[in-house]
Copies of this chain bind each other. A is one copy, B any other.
């Protein structure tokens, strides 16, 4: 290691430093570092070596400003604690890893105002695209998305009016299909347990589809229970205890997600309630976690990784060229009966 290389001040390195160290112009260094344009093999290696010994890290801020290109994709999701979204992220990364693009995550905590702020922050970095969960946004958010002039993919949900492209499943349909399966299995007195829904639009839509399908069968939700915050597994137990305490003759419990469903299942097993004979159970999401439980909870796969992959694919295809837009990908989740729904 030459002492010269270390003798620098603490000032961050620039292209100029590398250019001086290797005796070529900044432009040539830039070309080498980006593998663009013709550079002779000799200078290429010389430059690369200089960059390496100096420990040069390019400044993408300057690069992005000059080239008007940013290889970032903003991904805006409600939460990381949900397990669902990390899986979506996995799908996104899987596809983007094959490209120049990189995902950057923003978390909204299910708050529209936070979503607006996060979106604003992210757009101010001029990403190449936006993947954002849900179809419900503030007016300001929608305006920003529309004005951004980049591909936008709204994910998870297809029941509504997208700004641009959309990838997801119909949660109304998911609710309906679950209800139909429950009814045709012979259950009649059905309870619903879920999050307080003012801001969880997808849970709300599933509930709407669910009640709608029940209504068609001449039934309605016999009792319901809502929660917010806390460990979902515990809440599932507590709510199940509460609803069965209040309405003991329920013969089915539909949970708005697998985690509380798992809590409910564990509760029932604890109490010696026969599942699915005495009480049937179903959740939503298709979490792999469920595979480890004593009985397999009926659920519906939300196609999380697929959604991520499709969304990323759309962004990647549109990045750069301004093609049509408005893609619409509707995935159809399959109900998995598991061991908690009579056949």
Residues of A within 8 A of B (CB): 10, 12, 55, 57-62, 64-65, 70, 80-81, 83, 86-87, 89-90, 93, 102, 104-105, 107, 120-121, 123-126, 143-144, 147-149, 231-234, 236-237, 262-263, 266, 269-270, 288-289, 291-294
Contacts and interface: CB of A to CB of B under 8 A. Distances in A.
A81 B70 contact: no
A322 B81 CA distance: 34
A322 B173 CA distance: 57
Contacts of A125: 60-61
The 9 nearest A-B residue pairs measured at CB: A233-B292, A80-B86, A231-B288, A60-B124, A234-B292, A55-B147, A234-B291, A81-B86, A263-B292
Given A10-B149, A65-B65, 15 more contacts: A55-B147, A57-B148, A60-B126, A61-B61, A61-B125, A86-B86, A89-B107, A93-B107, A102-B121, A104-B104, A105-B105, A231-B292, A233-B291, A234-B291, A266-B294
A102 to B, nearest CB: 6
Q: Which of A232, A266, A292 has the most CB of B within 10 A?
A: A292
B294 A59 contact: no
Given A231-B292, A263-B292, A70 B80 contact: no
A126 B11 CA distance: 12
A126 B60 CA distance: 8
Contact of A123 (B57, B83, B237, B291): B57
Contacts of A107: 89, 93
Contact of A55 (B121, B124, B143, B293): B143
Contact of A120 (B57, B120, B266): B57
Contact of A289 (B62, B89, B120, B231): B231
Contacts of A294: 266, 269-270
Nearest to A232: B292
A97 to B, nearest CB: 10
B12 A126 contact: yes
A250 to B, nearest CB: 21
B65 A61 contact: yes
Contacts of A10: 149
Nearest to A231: B288
A302 to B, nearest CB: 16
Contact of A236 (B105, B121, B149, B292): B292
